Structure 1
Amino acid sequence: MCATDREQEYPTSPSLQIDLKVIKYDARGKFLGWEDVRGETLQCTVEVSDLLRRVPEPIFYELFLQFEDEKGDTRLWQVPVNNPAIRTNGQASSNPQMLRRLFLVDGLSGRKYNLTNTPASVTLAAELLLRLPAAVASAGVNEYQVWCCWDIDKAETNSSCFTCLSAQIDVSFSVSYIQSPGTAQQATDIAFGVLGFLALLSAFLETGTWVRRSRLPNVNFMIILKFFAFFAGSLANVFFVVTLGIGIYWLIVFKGQQVSAVEMMLPAAGSQIETNFIVYLLCAFVLKSVNIIHILITQTTVSIFLIDWEKPKARQTVQASTGNQGAASSVSAWRTFLIANEWNEIQTHRKVSPSLQLFAVLLLLEVVGLKNLASRDLNVNLNPDPNDYQAPWSPILRFGIAASVWLAVWIVQVVFSVGFYERFVEDKIHQFVDLCSLSNVSVFILTHRCYGFYIHGRSVHGHADVDMDTIHSYFRKEEENLCPLRGLEANSEVQTFEVLLTDKTRTLYDRITQSSMEVCFLIIFCYPLQYAPKFHPGFIHGLKNNFLAILCQVTKILKSLNFIFRLWQVPRGKHVRSDLHSQRLKGYHALNRFLISFLEHRYKDLDYVVKDKYLMERILDMEFQEPGDINILYNDDRSLFSRTLFYNHELTLVLFDILLFSAVDLGAQDFVLATVVTFVAQKLLQMLRDALGRRNLAEKTLVEKQFLI
């Protein structure tokens, strides 16, 4: 039979029961009759002596498939036979020839010298495989096209190894359903093309927004680095969406079939579809890890300052340790410490509980038994008998069921947290804004050079450093509407804003903060040199004379590493000159006075306006209008300042958890181990964010690290 015969087609129905018939011939070619192929044991162990006793001479079979055509007439179609054990000139053929006949046991050709002698070897079909492509249903079509092929694997028993008649051979019969990938890979490629283009467009928009907010005139290395960071995050989402779609698709289509009508088959183990899926999943995990690193760097390098609106009630003269007279304000610093501690606490606050998430996912997968849906068979029993046959796991189905359970539990948690818990129990983000108003402290944050957020915490009562009775009286006034609203503008309750500064304002802001940088430079470099006898005095004098030039160069190199502000948190027991501390405090008070004057419209050339963003600006998260000569504060009713916290990146964090969980399970095939590894990674990420955020907060707000509990 030629190879093209295997492409022969015949019509069937979805509920077809395959009816096979064979024609039997003896070794002399004599016709022995027709016989129906009946179901027997699929896998067993038999002795060679039993086979020879039952089949002393080989019987040849021609296999036919019996079916009815459209007219109801009975038809026969011969099934081609492929024997991969056949060798041509000692080598396997690259293009195997399809055969008409097959035999199951051959004890005749192994008899030497005389046909009555005991066979030296027995050839038998140890593995029989009936390959049937699964029919693919299409809309409006009621017929399916199927071809089948019979594969035989040859096995020999050699009497030199063991007694031939007492040898035991494992024989098996199986049916393999093969399905052409068809348009599945094409659909995946199209999805990657479309979503990849959208990811590229999103990265360009985010980079353009970052450049506009940073006021960078020329393309530099930092812009290119930012583009790749944004593109990595967007591309990770594309890979995740595609892999999730593939997993859920096969989970629904394959597991949703009934055993009597199998139309779709799962991609075979090691097939190109499964290999591509694993590559997509690993790419998503790597890119999402880059996205998480980018978020960590961005959040732990923001510029944050706590504006204290409290005015001193009285001033008193105190004697400093150096013998100089100075004026000390009666304003307490504990309110600023309180706000700094609350900000430090909410830095790693999330909308959901990661530990509860892991517990619920593991409970559903292992205890409820949803993991059993990931087997390669059509069994949908969640609690199968341990003694029953367990089909191998499919990585596509394991990811599909695991990711689906993760997202389902996460959505339930988010809905409960946002819809109930934050509304009726506790909302830490809005409570922080209320605490700022109670403490008479505002928060000024710059995430870009000329863009950031402002939380207006100025008390409507003028003072917050008061006793308990006065605070209760303040609350009663607010309840009875006997005081102004808390908003920045009159008759407004909006306390959170997006800030868009002009270059002039930012330049003045940097000039004021420059004094703090100079102090840090003195502490780090110049002050130790005064106690270093190995340096010539002229070198130290020249260093001080060229201080500004040296400071400019050092600032450019060390600013990205956040090293300039390192000495704001002075270790205990270190001796630091009091005049340097005094200069640091002067820089802090100067910046505090500048921001208060700026917010009170005292600088006409640095004035600002408060306005709402357009709808498209809110959707695209960018500003169409250039600030020009006036600063802009956009009303923010969505608490966007939480972008500097974990709270606003919940989706990114949960996708990272899902991908890490799936990547570990992909290698270990163990949901328990994946849960443990994910839990440890969550804790390490939280500890790293907390440590770096606390350090940055201590450096930028002048609150000692020891006070951040």
Structure 2
Amino acid sequence: MTCTDGTTPDPDKNSCIDCNSTCSCSNSKCRSPDILKTTIRLQNGDEMRSKLSDDLLPLAFQQCSQGNIKQCQILINLCVLQHYERETNNACGLFDEARRSFNPWQITLDPLYFNGDSDSELGKEVAITQQYIFDNSDRSVIHLIFAIYNMEGDFDGFFDAKSFPLHFCQNDVQPGAPYRFGRRSGANSVNRLAKEQNRWILTRRFFLLDDFSITTKNGSVVRVASHVKFHIWFQKNGDGLIHPPYIEIDYNDNFERTTVESSFQVVYGRDPGPFDRDLEITMFVICPISVIWAALSAYSWGRRNGKVSAVDASSVLKLVLYECALLGDVFFIVVAVVACWTTFSYKSQTYVFYKLLSERQEQASERPTSRDISREVKQEAPVIWRTYLIANEWNELQRYRKTRLPLQIVTFLFLHEYFSLKNWAIVEPGFHRNLDDNFYDSTLLTRFAVVVFLYLSLAFIQWIIQVLLIERVILDPFHNFIDLCSVSNISVLSLTESLHGFYIHGRSVHGKGDAGMAEMNDFLQRERDSLCGFRGLEPSSELQTYIVNLPQAFRQKYDEIRQMANAQLGPSVTGHDAVTAKMHATVKAHGEMNEFLKAFIEHANSDLGYVIRDRTVAEAVLDLEFNDTSVTGNFMRDPSEMMFSRCFVYGNEWKWLSFECLLTCVIFLISDSIHLAFFVVFLTSSILKLIFSILSTNHLSRVGLVDNRFLL
């Protein structure tokens, strides 16, 4: 109801009574404290009465309506404490009513709100003309000026961010350090409650701590700005220009008056449109190339396995598998490159331009001791120990790698933790290690960039040292293996596909591999003095390694001999008799396989043949053979004598390395613990290595026709 001047409605609102000093009147409307809304809504949705509002609101409203600027400032402060909720009888509603009669802010800035909507206000490009840069000059510092009013409505003056910090734990960091341009500071908030974003409004005034407006029997309720985030957005087309920054504040209510925890962040943002567009263009270019490459790989696989049709179920499945593998590498490499480029370009610039945001088949064939025609000595069966020696050396090479995971982990932790290279992930200009990472902030992208860059850098350093230094100067296990094959008079044919693989010509130039110590030393001296023939498959050639593509008739004969070793035993043959019978079948198959391979290599089989040629550049680049080898095989020279390493982990190092690196990054980003990440990676790698060792040993025994009891 409406009453005349000097009166106010009675409690029953049936009549008007005289207004005493506790009433507040404006425009012939008087309100008693019981009618005014002096409650404050807490973060959990509850409302509690504010004694401060009870004491100050009636008088502030009355005198503000009469032109008292100081009381208007008190009314504005009470509105801020009520979180800008606008109702008829609360502080914000009363202030709106009061300035209908007294409004000195018509020609100046509104003391509470911005005139336009928040998007237009925050999107202005001409509001701040300062062009910031990354250096140590004054242009690299963001200067913030705050106008402070106390609860009595008095203006305490202007203060900069150094003297009026927005965070409570200012002793943990140098004053003004968070406001160095380009530096992201802060950490994730603590005790942050769920907030309704539709209640957020863009305002001019805020409070950081309130420990007196709400009191209870156990004391006052402490309301604190638990999470203060200072947002700075780069302009889309302006180097070093920014949009008007803004502060996002979340409040928390503390009833027990325990230690108040708060956090402060300075975050930078940019329009993700150009970045997303560049990433999309990159993926649109690379992904079709990966499909073409996968199709070529599937076609090559089909030819190497003797497929009659280029399009069948197995070829399509292989195409999908190749494409999945390629896409995995593409996404990993692109994301890693983008993360590293974005992070390190951002940190090293001065003028702001970059802004954040297969079954293997191995066959060890052995050349028997050659006949000495002059002495007419009967040919002897080959000594099996040389075969076992070569098989065990081959088995060891299967687990040989270019990098060592334990060394990788120790070196990484030493640099990442002890030398604090982890602080490179902090979003700020320059590469600084001695920063408090508990205060200065990093992002998911920068942490990923530092980990993947450091991990791959250390791995590639290991790779280069292993290949260019250790294997060339100290120990070369692969060329040593080739020499061992020559000394042992053992040749090796390893098939990675049904009709494709690698051949090591291990024929001894001395005609035999069984010799005493003195005779073996004499053999080596004769080779040193060039008093014997050449080791190579071709006359007058020392080349011993070849990439082979075999005719289909070879595979048919090969499978027939393999079936001899896999012949089913009768049900009456059990126990040791079964083992003996199995070994007899294996020995017979081994002998026939040896004779078959020897005849094939020496062109002694009229139904099977091959030609020796060089690999073309196109074949090397595409890893695809253009010649038809269904009738006549191809032996392509391998001058590097290292192509057969593709049979081992060594030749597929990138697959293991990228898996370990990606697993490290994923576990680290999920758990935020590099120690846990490396523990999981080491455990996983050890289990996979054990499984691979068991499978490769069993596979070598099965396809090489050697007794697995002699394989280590």
Quick check: TM above 0.5? yes
Q: Distance in 2 between matches of 1:24 and 1:43?
A: 13
> Structure 1's 481 and 131: CA in aligned 2 closer, same or farther, altered over 3 A?
closer
> Structure 1's 600 and 178: CA in aligned 2 closer, same or farther, altered over 3 A?
closer
Deviation readout 1:493-532 (Å, 9 max, x if unpaired)? 1111111111223223323333223x2x2x2xxx12578x
- Which of 641, 645, 650 is the aligned partner of 1:647? 650
Native 8 Å contact 1:374 1:393 kept in 2: yes
> Structure 1's 426 and 142: CA in aligned 2 closer, same or farther, altered over 3 A?
closer
* Structure 1 position 601, deviation (Å): 1.2
2:409 is aligned with 1:306: no
Native 8 Å contact 1:45 1:169 kept in 2: no
- Which of 472, 476, 480 is the aligned partner of 2:521? 472
Counterpart residue identity of residue 305, structure 1: A
User: What is the aligned partner in structure 2 of residue 431 from structure 1?
Assistant: 480
Counterparts of residues 556-705 of structure 1 (less than 5 Å) = 574-576=576-578, 581-638=583-640, 639-705=642-708
* Structure 1 position 685, deviation (Å): 2.2
Counterpart residue identity of residue 13, structure 1: Q
* Structure 1 position 355, deviation (Å): 2.1
2:165 is aligned with 1:42: yes
Native 8 Å contact 1:126 1:154 kept in 2: yes
Counterpart residue identity of residue 204, structure 1: A
User: What is the aligned partner in structure 1 of residue 72 from structure 2?
Assistant: none
* Structure 1 position 152, deviation (Å): 5.8
User: What is the aligned partner in structure 1 of residue 393 from structure 2?
Assistant: 342
User: What is the aligned partner in structure 1 of residue 455 from structure 2?
Assistant: 406
> Structure 1's 378 and 579: CA in aligned 2 closer, same or farther, altered over 3 A?
closer
Q: Distance in 2 between matches of 1:448 and 1:352?
A: 26
Counterparts of residues 250-649 of structure 1 (less than 5 Å) = 250-256=342-348, 266-267=356-357, 295=358, 298-299=359-360, 302-311=361-370, 329=380, 331-376=382-427, 380-384=431-435, 389-517=438-566, 519=567, 521=568, 523=569, 527-528=570-571, 574-576=576-578, 581-638=583-640, 639-649=642-652
What percentage of residue pairs aligned between the two structures are identical? Answer: 28
- Which of 171, 178, 184 is the aligned partner of 2:275? 184
SS of the aligned residue for 1:634 comes to: strand
Q: Distance in 2 between matches of 1:152 and 1:576?
A: 80
Native 8 Å contact 2:401 2:649 kept in 1: yes
Counterparts of residues 97-176 of structure 1 (less than 5 Å) = 98=202, 102=205, 104=207, 130-135=230-235, 144-149=241-246, 151=248, 176=267
Q: Distance in 2 between matches of 1:664 and 1:173?
A: 27
> Structure 1's 309 and 622: CA in aligned 2 closer, same or farther, altered over 3 A?
farther
* Structure 1 position 36, deviation (Å): 3.7
Native 8 Å contact 1:309 1:458 kept in 2: no
> Structure 1's 255 and 461: CA in aligned 2 closer, same or farther, altered over 3 A?
same
SS of the aligned residue for 2:639 comes to: coil
Q: Distance in 1 between matches of 2:209 and 2:682?
A: 60
* Structure 1 position 213, deviation (Å): 0.8
User: What is the aligned partner in structure 2 of residue 73 from structure 1?
Assistant: none
2:340 is aligned with 1:248: yes
Native 8 Å contact 1:127 1:171 kept in 2: yes
Q: Distance in 1 between matches of 2:224 and 2:450?
A: 43
Counterpart residue identity of residue 2, structure 1: G
User: What is the aligned partner in structure 2 of residue 228 from structure 1?
Assistant: 320
Which structure's relative contact order is higher, taking Cα pairs within 8 Å and 6+ residues apart?
1
Native 8 Å contact 2:122 2:243 kept in 1: no
Q: Distance in 1 between matches of 2:410 and 2:430?
A: 26
Q: Distance in 2 between matches of 1:630 and 1:263?
A: 60
- Which of 304, 308, 312 is the aligned partner of 1:213? 304
The structure with the larger Rg is: 2
Q: Distance in 2 between matches of 1:150 and 1:426?
A: 62
Counterpart residue identity of residue 116, structure 2: C
Aligned residues between the structures: 552
* Structure 1 position 438, deviation (Å): 0.5
* Structure 1 position 440, deviation (Å): 0.7
Q: Distance in 1 between matches of 2:289 and 2:596?
A: 43
> Structure 1's 646 and 21: CA in aligned 2 closer, same or farther, altered over 3 A?
closer
Native 8 Å contact 2:363 2:492 kept in 1: yes
Q: Distance in 1 between matches of 2:597 and 2:413?
A: 51
Q: Distance in 1 between matches of 2:509 and 2:379?
A: 25
> Structure 1's 574 and 656: CA in aligned 2 closer, same or farther, altered over 3 A?
same
* Structure 1 position 642, deviation (Å): 1.3
Bigger proportion of residues as strand = 1
Q: Distance in 2 between matches of 1:359 and 1:471?
A: 44
Native 8 Å contact 2:364 2:391 kept in 1: no
> Structure 1's 378 and 464: CA in aligned 2 closer, same or farther, altered over 3 A?
same
Deviation readout 1:613-659 (Å, 9 max, x if unpaired)? 11111111110111253221111123211111111111222111211
User: What is the aligned partner in structure 2 of residue 2 from structure 1?
Assistant: 116
Q: Distance in 2 between matches of 1:175 and 1:618?
A: 53
- Give the gaps of 5 or more residues in structure 2: 1-114, 133-138, 170-194
Counterpart residue identity of residue 537, structure 2: L
Native 8 Å contact 2:167 2:228 kept in 1: no
Q: Distance in 2 between matches of 1:479 and 1:120?
A: 95
- Give the gaps of 5 or more residues in structure 1: 47-90, 113-118, 268-294, 315-326, 532-572
Native 8 Å contact 1:512 1:591 kept in 2: yes
What's the Cα RMSD here? 3.9
Native 8 Å contact 1:206 1:230 kept in 2: yes
Deviation readout 1:32-61 (Å, 9 max, x if unpaired)? 999544332425679xxxxxxxxxxxxxxx
> Structure 1's 473 and 134: CA in aligned 2 closer, same or farther, altered over 3 A?
same
* Structure 1 position 487, deviation (Å): 0.4
* Structure 1 position 171, deviation (Å): 8.6
Native 8 Å contact 2:366 2:382 kept in 1: no
SS of the aligned residue for 2:576 comes to: coil
Native 8 Å contact 1:304 1:701 kept in 2: yes
Q: Distance in 2 between matches of 1:439 and 1:227?
A: 41
Native 8 Å contact 1:135 1:264 kept in 2: no
* Structure 1 position 400, deviation (Å): 1.3
TM-score by length of 1: 0.69
SS of the aligned residue for 2:510 comes to: coil
Counterpart residue identity of residue 348, structure 1: R
Native 8 Å contact 1:200 1:231 kept in 2: yes
SS of the aligned residue for 1:497 comes to: strand
2:289 is aligned with 1:198: yes
